[in-house]
Amino acid sequence: MAEAGSPHSPFTYSAPDEPAVIPNASDYYLWGNEYRRRGDDEAAENALRGALSQDPGLFEARLSLAFLYRDQGRVGDAARLFDGWLKARPTDAVLCGQVARFLETLGDSERALACLDSAIQADPNLVQAWFERGRLLLALGHFDEAARSLGRTLELDPDHDAAHLLIVQTRRFAPGDHLIAFLEAQATRTPVSASTQACRQFALGKVYDDLGRWEQALTAIEEGNRIRRGMTRFPKADRKAALELNLALPPGAWAPAPGPSVEPLPLFIVGLPRAGTTLVESLLLSHPAISSAGELDILERLVEASRLVERWRAALDADTVPDALADTEREVVERYQATLARYGSSGCRYVIDKNPLNFWHAGAIRKLLPGARILAVERDPRDVLVSLYFQNFDHPALDFSYSIEDLLFYLRTHDHLMTHWKRCLGTTLRTVRYETLVGEPATVVDELLSWLGLPAMGVESGHPAERAIRTASAFQARQPVYQHSVGRWKPYARMLRERHPELASLRFADESA
């Protein structure tokens, strides 16, 4: 398909009492967005292509048309829209980052890297382009090259927050690593923003943890968390209310509505962050009938924005489902399925949605999506707590991770809700223990495939599938499956117990337990 051309049905515009005028590129762009909003894809495409035919440099129209193609499943057309733009050697670092991230969502890492390389070749001092390049290479598992790009980022901008966090994820540190002295020196540089201070402390904590310098590691992590607590607020009351709302509905309220299952079917991998969801996803992706959409937030946004759970609770005493509620349910399902379908390849039966926080919506998943499966990953809560406490997530949904008190509350809330879901959801929900998975990965994966109705395929023990990983587990999840992370809490047991006596509730008192 041509990149852009004259619209199939030219628009004309007539202002009141004035002769007809030919619309300009901006007019076509605005009309295209309005048609997209109305769901008229053909008219939207015509208008946006018209905008580009008049002004090929109107980047907003190019990006809007690319999103339209992506949403229609025309991934190749979406990616090709940027070929001419790349040949023009763009130097706008912000646009380069936007395009690279968009191309990543299409799975087109090659064009994404080309986008960033073009910008860097034109101007070797584009900080954000170097950073985006390092981030993408880290996700792809090219750790040495990622480290060089992130190192260049820090040379150009020693206060770049995220570059500190990502560069320490490119390897496991050993004594003598040249980066250790650099990071230690960085931690003493002032003045810097609170965010930069926190990132430097979390980076040092990871380095010292790798080196087995436990006390230095915990000191740095405690300082990083102290800074982050001053920047955020965990809405504990909101999470408590969400728990109580889900518990208020009886098991029968979550029964799926009658109707056919639509393939590809969603496979939700849920659990506490750092419980092992990324590893489970990596192993399952070795099967040709399974693909992944990554960590989607659309279901959470749709369910919460439409207040579905509150409306289901209000409808418990009604004889019939109100028409407006039924319409909302259909809209949520259609929008979610349309999003998921973009990630299904030929022959794919399941698409993974690996947003771990979907455990909050497991009941809604069963009710709205017949045929969906929910795989809950469980791990020793002491290991989860320490792993979370050592991460600077910088995500509002994870603000609980900066406080031991909030972590304990969240872990208890998760356990309470998951106990409820196990009573309500039947065979829709299955759990897998992280400790069992790393001990017998091939056996566990074959059992999960059987549960999904898929043939076993002899997944090679201990070798996750190759693909982009965009979580804090990018390095660990690419290593052969190992048991080093089992008992991660033990080196910190005594120190954490002394600083946080409330941890006795998780049996931190006995580091050999």
SS (H, E, C) 323-391: HHHHHHHHHHHHHHHHHHHCCCCCCCCEEEECCHHHHHHHHHHHHHCCCCEEEEEECCHHHHHHHHHCC
Q: How far is Cα 309 from Cα 364, in angstroms, rounded to an integer?
A: 8
C-alpha distances (whole Å) from 370 to each of 190, 295, 374, 412, 478 are: 56, 20, 11, 29, 33
Q: What is the pLDDT of residues 139-171, one digit of tens each?
A: 899 999 999 999 999 999 999 999 999 999 999
Q: Is the pLDDT of residue 477 over 80?
A: no
Res 267 pLDDT > 80: yes
393 or 511: whose pLDDT is higher?
A: 393
Output the CA–CA distances (angstroms, integers) from residue 390 to 46, 205, 334, 404, in the order listed: 50, 7, 39, 11
Kindly state the average pLDDT of the residues 126-148: 93
What is the rounded average pLDDT for all residues in the chain? 87
Residue 133 CA to residue 148 CA, distance in Å, equals: 10
pLDDT higher than threshold 70 for residue 427: yes
Residue 257 above 80 pLDDT? no
| Predicted local confidence at residue 458, as pLDDT | 64
Q: What is the pLDDT of residue 21?
A: 60
Check residues 435 and 72 and name the one with the higher pLDDT.
435
- Residue 356: the pLDDT is 97
Percent of the chain past pLDDT 90, that is, above it, reads 64
Nearest C-alpha neighbor of 101 from the set 111, 90, 112, 91: 112
Give residue 19's pLDDT band: very low, low, confident or very high (50, 70, 90): very low
Instruction: Provide the pLDDT for residue 154.
Output: 96
Decide: pTM greater than 0.85.
no
Residue 12 has pLDDT above 50, yes or no: no
Q: Which CATH architecture has domain 236-379+392-473?
A: 3-Layer(aba) Sandwich (3.40)
373's CB contacts (< 8 A; 6+ apart) are 265, 266, 267, 268, 350, 428, 430, 451, 452
User: Which of 19-28, 45-54, 192-201, 244-253 has the least mean pLDDT?
Assistant: 19-28
- 3 — pLDDT class (breaks 50, 70, 90): very low
Q: Where are the domains of the chain?
A: 236-379+392-473
> Amino acid letter at 465?
A
